[in-house]
Structure 1
Amino acid sequence: MKIAILGAGALGCAVGATLTDGGHEVWLLDRSPVHVETMRRDGLQVDDANGSRRVAVRAATQASDVGVADLVVVLVKSFHTDAAMRGALALVGPGTLVLSLQNGLGHEDILADIVGREHVLAGKTYVGGVLRGAAHIQSGVTGKATYIGELDGRLTPRVQAVADAFNAAGLMTTVSDNIMGTMWDKLLINVATGALTGITRLTYGQLYEEPLLKATALAAVSEAIAAARAAGVKLSMSDPEEAWTLAAEGLSPAFRTSMLQSLEKGSVTEVDFINGSVVRWGQRLGVPTPVNATLVACIKGIERAMADAQRKERTA
């Protein structure tokens, strides 16, 4: 299978390296010329539980260098989804499938508007990765589940073929007949901790020691559950405590959420696709979401302060 990974960051490289090892023609697409050139020249260095190895990968900065793919896996930051997909239409032919494995909700609608809903699959993955440097990642694939599915819940041969290819390569993948429910389940976990750690700058260990913060997290998750129910989404959990507990499962006290990591790097976050999704669904369905709206506002305020500080530095 010819597979293009749109967004070769830590997660994109972890998935791409695994599929490359599985014998697929995989292309890692990224905007960074240094990252891409280093991968082309030296391969991708992958550190994992088995040690360190170099994987010979195909990499490009332009979709036109790749051509039409059988599958496009979208792993860019949420706020880059529209621009990235519009700039990568050379990857999409009549039979191409476009699969989002991004955090949050709403990417599938953005992609459907660009390539057509009939081309789009949705998914969620628990595979992890950390970008150590150009063409160098820490990868966490073993034992980490991935779920994919058709937007309407049908169990089709095409989505099964993707799952079969992923599984054969070592990505533990399940086809879901309720992928929207699966995505909401993952959203609940992100809603529980992401924005709170971004605002407070706390690690997981610190966050889970503060009862007041737990109460806020449970309130935010309760709003998300109410919005999901109003939307007719079938969730696997009904108690906010479940999301709070699952969010910390298997993670060290020193763990930093991706939202906190983004802020520490001076980057904007994906809050619009996480807590912001809850707010949008609440507005659409008449479900109050004051806690999530407050968390979004606080993160936006931090992003504004960072942008102003960066602007001052440039003009100083």
Structure 2
Amino acid sequence: MKICVLGAGALGSVIGACLAESGSDVYLVCRQGAHYQALVTRGLELREDGKSRMVRVNVATDCDTVGPVDLVILLVKSFDTEAAMAGAGALFGPETVLLSLQNGLGHEEILKEIVGAERVIAGKSYVGGLLVEPGVVLAGRHNQLTRIGELSGQISERVLRIAAEFERAGLRVEAEENIQGKMWDKLLVNVATAALCSITRLTFGELFRLASMRDCGVAAVAEGIAVAKAIGIDLTEDNPCEIWDRIPVGLPFEFKPSMLQSIEKGSVTEIDYVNGSVVRLGEKYNVPTPVNRTLVTCVKGVERNVELSRAATV
């Protein structure tokens, strides 16, 4: 299977490297910069379970050099979805499928408008990826599921083919009928941890050591569960404490969610698509979300501080 990972940052590099190692024809598309240069000159260094190995990958900065593929895995930041797809036309042949593994909610509606509903498959991944330095990625994939499914709810042949390709690469995958519920399951994980890590600058390991962080994270998840129930989403788990306790299992102590990685790079975060989604839907369905609203406000403040600090050094 010829696969393009569009948005090959930390997680995209991990998934792409695993697929490439198992024999898939993989192309990583990322922005021109230090990470791209490292991938071109020496390949990708994948660190996993205390060991390191080099993986040779195909890498490009534009989709025209890649050409039509069987599968596009979309992993750009939520706010870059439309811009990324505007330059992705060369990837799409008659049978090309688009799988979004992005954080947050709402991407599929945008993508259906761009490429057509018949091409779009939804998914969420619990695999961890941390960009240690350009060309070096820390992976957390053991016992971490990736869930994919048709928006129609059927288990199609193409979903099963993609799942088999991932499984061959050592990436655990479940083909789901209730993909909407599974997307909310992953949203609740991000709601619990992404904003808190971004505000405190703590790694997962440090975050889960503090009882005060647990109290706040559990409260944020409880609000998300209330919103999901108001909408009619069929969640796998509706106990916020159990959701919190399960989150760090299988991930490295030093793991950082992508939102914190964005803050550390001086970039805008996806807070509007994560905790912000809970707030917006809470307003629509008359469910109070004060904890998530506060977390969104605090992350916006952190973003502004980063922006001011960056401007002061120019």
Deviation at 1:205, TM superposition (A): 5.2
Superposition pairs for residues 7-156 of structure 1, below 5 Å? 7-49=7-49, 51-156=51-156
Partner of 1:266: 266
The equivalent of 1:6 in structure 2 is 6
Give 1:306's aligned amino acid: V
* Maintained 8 Å contact 2:143/2:250: no
Query: Once superposed, what is the RMSD of the aligned Cα atoms?
Result: 2.1
1:215 aligns with 2:215: yes
User: How much identity, in percent, do the aligned residues show?
Assistant: 50
Q: 1:71 & 1:64 partners in 2: Cα distance?
A: 15
Cα–Cα, structure 1 residues 248 and 54, in superposed 2: closer, same or farther, change >3 Å?
A: closer
Q: Tell me the secondary structure at the aligned position of residue 69 of structure 2.
A: coil
CA distance in 1: counterparts of 2:211 and 2:51, whole angstroms: 39
Q: Give the secondary structure class of the aligned counterpart of 2:95.
A: coil
In the aligned structure 2, how far is the partner of 1:24 from the partner of 1:209?
39
Q: 1:196 to 1:34 in 2, by over 3 A?
A: closer
The runs of at least 4 consecutive aligned structure 1 residues that moved more than 6 Å come to none
Is the alpha carbon distance of 1:220 and 1:49 closer, same or farther for their aligned partners in structure 2, counting shifts above 3 Å?
A: closer
Per-residue CA deviation, residues 9-33 of structure 1 (Å, 9 max, x unaligned), is 1211111111112212111100124
| 1:6 Cα deviation from its structure 2 partner | 0.4
Query: What amino acid maps onto 2:67 in structure 1?
Result: G
Q: Secondary structure at the match of 1:152?
A: coil
- 1:123-151 Cα distance to aligned partner (Å, 9 max, x none): 11122222233322222334332111111
Q: 303-312 or 132-141, which moves further after superposition? A: 132-141
Residue 247 of structure 2 aligns to a residue whose secondary structure is helix
- Given that 2:76 and 2:102 are in contact with CA atoms closer than 8 Å, whether structure 1 keeps it comes out as yes
TM superposition shift of 1:295: 1.1
User: Are the structure 2 counterparts of residues 283 and 154 from structure 1 closer, same or farther at C-alpha, using a change threshold of 3 Å?
Assistant: same
| Kept after mapping to 1: 8 A contact 2:159/2:175 | yes
What is the DSSP-based 3-state SS (H/G/I as helix, E as strand, rest coil) of the residue aligned with 2:27?
strand
TM-fit CA distance, 1:251: 4.5
Provide the residue aligned with 1:174 in structure 2.
174
When residues 137 and 255 of structure 1 are mapped into structure 2, their CA distance, relative to the original with a 3 A threshold, is closer
Q: How far apart, in 1, do the equivalents of 2:246 and 2:268 lie? A: 26
Deviation at 1:157, TM superposition (A): 0.9
Aligned residue identity for 2:294: T
| 1:172-216 deviation per Cα after TM superposition (whole angstroms, max 9, x unaligned) | 111011111111111112111221232233444554455444333
Contact 1:2-1:25 at 8 Å conserved across structures: yes
SS state of the match for residue 66, structure 1? coil
Aligned with 1:94: secondary structure?
strand
Write the distance in 1 (CA, Å) between the matches of 2:168 and 2:77: 27
Q: Is the 8 A contact 1:190 1:247 kept in 2?
A: no
* Superposition pairs of residues 226-241 of structure 1, within 5 angstroms: 226-241=226-241
Between the aligned partners of 2:169 and 2:249, the Cα distance in structure 1 is 26
- Runs (5+) with no aligned partner, structure 1: none
Q: Distance in 2 between matches of 1:256 and 1:6?
A: 21
Report the Cα offset of residue 2 of structure 1.
0.9
The question of whether the paired residues in 1 share the 8 Å contact of 2:142 and 2:250 is answered with no
Return the TM-score normalized by structure 1: 0.91
Q: CA deviation at 1:112?
A: 1.8
**Whole-Å separation in 2 of the counterparts to 1:17 and 1:258:** 18
Aligned partner of residue 147 in structure 1, secondary structure: strand
Which residue identity does 1:198 align to in structure 2?
A: S
**Residue range with higher mean Cα deviation, 70-79 or 47-56:** 47-56
Q: 1:162 Cα deviation (Å)?
A: 0.8
Q: Which residue of 1 aligns with 2:185?
A: 185
Closer/same/farther in 2, CA of residues 152 and 291 from structure 1, 3 Å limit: same
Q: Distance in 1 between matches of 2:79 and 2:228?
A: 22
